[in-house]
């Protein structure tokens, strides 16, 4: 059987969905897409199945958009046959079959997905997207995106992004918030152009992702970090955050800065050994570091060195923690001279 190869691009989420479905069924991606399309069109399996590329799936999407636009059957093409003559009936059935093909692929994607043409007319909306907007898919397909149940500022932003994407052919991203009964939900979305073989743009794919929990976690982490920084700064002891690999000083409180006679910015350029006496630094490297790496925490005496050369005996309580995606030693040094 003759075949033709053309280029095709899919958003990463859709590619991941196809791969996940193929992995779950134990089939390769080509076999999966061949079976779905063969079943949708009622074709008999070929004894020598040709290779199906994502380009063929792209062509199905393009055909669907063109048929919906040309027939002008809009939102009634699935839910109602009224006004269509007998010749249109097979075409309606074919469109429904194509929708089923997309649904089988997109059902593995938990995110809202919308496909629209160059004019912003909705060509496809998955079930997750329909639930998110509180709309029936049969009524949404054929409508312009400006008629979706989205806040006016979001509609205006999408309109501008569609225009810019048509001009420059580049994907764009954004965020929006939807009011819900319990609490607002925050979403991030990516608007991807659908490129033809001649690099012209025939439409857009919009994939949104619910980021509400992520945003709440991010805010909670910021609050916790602010509280930690406040306690860190107000501590009476000398406080240090030291990189566990390089021993570079990452954070220091004002008490340590004053006691050692260094401006805070100057301390950040040094390693912990540079503000220690030579003997204490050698002992720390030879014995203390090994113990801390083995047990994760420890208490030991140490000698720090003032900027003027004066030695300061301290007792350090240190523990190994994760800080800003790296392992560090959190150290609290009690001045033994004052005691």
Q: Which pLDDT score, from 0 to 100, does residue 52 have?
A: 46
Q: Which pLDDT score, from 0 to 100, does residue 41 have?
A: 54
Domains in the chain, CATH or no CATH each: 12-210 (3.30.450.20), 234-335 (3.30.450.20)
Q: Which pLDDT score, from 0 to 100, does residue 54 have?
A: 54
Handedness of CA 321, 323, 329, 334 (dihedral sign): negative
The DSSP H or E segment spanning 69 is: helix 54-71
Could you tell me which residue, 95 or 283, shows the higher pLDDT?
283
Handedness of CA 82, 84, 87, 93 (dihedral sign): negative
Number of other residues whose CB lies within 10 A of the CB of residue 72: 10
Q: Summarize the confidence of residues 261-280 as an average pLDDT.
A: 90
Judged by average pLDDT, the poorest of 139-148, 160-169, 236-245 is 139-148
Q: Which pLDDT score, from 0 to 100, does residue 338 have?
A: 64
- Token pair for 306: 């003032």
Q: Which pLDDT score, from 0 to 100, does residue 174 have?
A: 87
Q: Which pLDDT score, from 0 to 100, does residue 261 have?
A: 93
Is the whole model's pTM more than 0.75, yes or no? no
Is residue 75 predicted with pLDDT exceeding 60? no
Number of other residues whose CB lies within 10 A of the CB of residue 290: 10
CA 312 vs. chain centroid, Å, equals 48
pLDDT, the chain, mean = 77
Q: Which pLDDT score, from 0 to 100, does residue 205 have?
A: 87
Handedness of CA 106, 110, 111, 112 (dihedral sign): positive
């Amino acid at each position: 059987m003759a075949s033709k190869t053309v280029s095709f691009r899919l958003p990463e989420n859709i590619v991941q969905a196809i791969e996940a479905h193929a992995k779950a069924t134990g089939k390769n991606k080509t076999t999966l897409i061949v079976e779905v399309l063969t079943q949708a069109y009622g074709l008999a399996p070929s004894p020598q199945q040709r290779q199906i590329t994502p380009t063929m799936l792209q062509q199905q999407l393009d055909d669907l958009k063109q048929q919906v636009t040309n027939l002008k059957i809009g939102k009634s093409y699935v839910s109602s046959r009224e006004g269509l003559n007998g010749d249109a009936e097979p075409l309606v059935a074919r469109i429904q079959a194509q929708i089923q093909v997309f649904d089988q692929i997109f059902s593995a994607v938990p995110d809202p997905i919308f496909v629209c043409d160059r004019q912003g007319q909705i060509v496809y909306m998955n079930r997750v997207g329909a639930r998110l907007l509180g709309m029936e898919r049969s009524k949404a397909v054929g409508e312009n995106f400006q008629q979706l149940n989205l806040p006016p500022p979001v509609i205006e932003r999408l309109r501008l992004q569609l225009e810019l994407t048509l001009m420059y052919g580049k994907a764009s991203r954004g965020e929006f918030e939807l009011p819900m009964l319990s609490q607002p939900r925050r979403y991030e979305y990516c608007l991807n152009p659908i490129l033809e073989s001649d690099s012209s743009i025939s439409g857009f794919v919009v994939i949104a992702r619910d980021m509400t929990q992520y945003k709440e976690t991010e805010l909670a982490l910021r609050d916790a970090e602010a509280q930690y920084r406040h306690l860190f700064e107000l501590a009476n002891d000398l406080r240090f955050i030291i990189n566990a690999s390089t021993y570079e000083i990452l954070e220091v409180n004002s008490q340590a800065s004053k006691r050692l006679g260094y401006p805070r910015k100057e301390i950040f350029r040094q390693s912990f050994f540079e503000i220690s006496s030579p003997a204490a630094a050698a002992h720390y490297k030879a014995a203390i570091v090994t113990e801390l790496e083995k047990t994760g925490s420890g208490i030991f005496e140490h000698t720090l060195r003032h900027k003027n050369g004066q030695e300061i005996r301290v007792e350090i309580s240190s523990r190994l923690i994760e800080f800003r995606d790296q392992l560090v030693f959190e150290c609290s040094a009690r001045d033994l001279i004052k005691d």
